[in-house]
Structure 1
Amino acid sequence: MVVAEFSVTPVVGENLRPYVDAAIEVVKRSGLNYEVDAMSTTLEGELDQVLDVIKKAHRAVMGVGAGRVLTEIRIDERETGVSMEEELEGYRAAI
């Protein structure tokens, strides 16, 4: 199990929402545990599944007309496994 944070950034004009919505729709349909925030999306799953979803999200943004797309990915993988909830547990308890 891995936790991955990624952002798909279309290099287009001011209105990014239709492009970002296309990427988020791919994530929703994936069935993986995810969390969307203001700057990125965090996914949890097996490495191959997560990478496949990120690739599809990237392609979805290209598919709705972005002529150029930049995708950034950070992956946390441990021998013992990791979950989003475990990563955030201490922080959420403090809030």
Structure 2
Amino acid sequence: MIVSFSVAPSTDNADGSVHEAVAAAVKVVRDSGLPNSTSSMFTELEGEWDEVMDVVKRATEAVAAYGSRVSLVLKADIRPGYTGELTGKLERLEKAIHSQE
């Protein structure tokens, strides 16, 4: 499965910045050893259900240390029997784009 998620604390700081908390979450993801990718808004993670959800839970707990409330947005692509889809989906997309040129 692939999970795309965003996790952030509520914040009382003047600039609304949550980068330190997000960094703590992304460190948990990267340390997990599972295939992952982070963009400006979401982190994607690929693996089996239990291992992926464990990482999301630990990333959420890491963010909780930065505020009294945590927001978690999660989207999952559950496709048993498939691996390498974190990059495979993008490769197929790029191939389709190039075939339309």
Q: Quick one: distance in 1 between partners of 2:80 and 2:31?
A: 28
Q: Quick one: distance in 2 between partners of 1:15 and 1:4?
A: 24
In the superposition, the TM-score normalised over structure 1's length comes to: 0.88
Please state whether the residue corresponding to 1:32 is helix, strand or coil.
coil
**Structure 2: gaps of 5 or more residues:** none
Aligned residue pair count: 93
TM-superposed CA distance for 1:26, in Å, is 0.3
Deviations 1:51-78 (A, max 9, x none): 0000000000112x21111111111112
Q: Quick one: distance in 2 between partners of 1:53 and 1:89?
A: 25
Deviations 1:34-66 (A, max 9, x none): 000011000000110000000000000112x21
In the superposition, the TM-score normalised over structure 2's length comes to: 0.83
Q: In the alignment, does 2:21 pair up with 1:4?
A: no
**Structure 1: gaps of 5 or more residues:** none
Higher Cα Rg, which structure: 2
What is the aligned-residue RMSD (CA, Å)? 1.5
Find the counterpart in structure 2 of residue 61 from structure 1.
63
Please state whether the residue corresponding to 1:49 is helix, strand or coil.
helix
Q: Quick one: distance in 1 between partners of 2:72 and 2:28?
A: 14
Runs of 4+ in 1 over 3 A off after TM superposition: 92-95
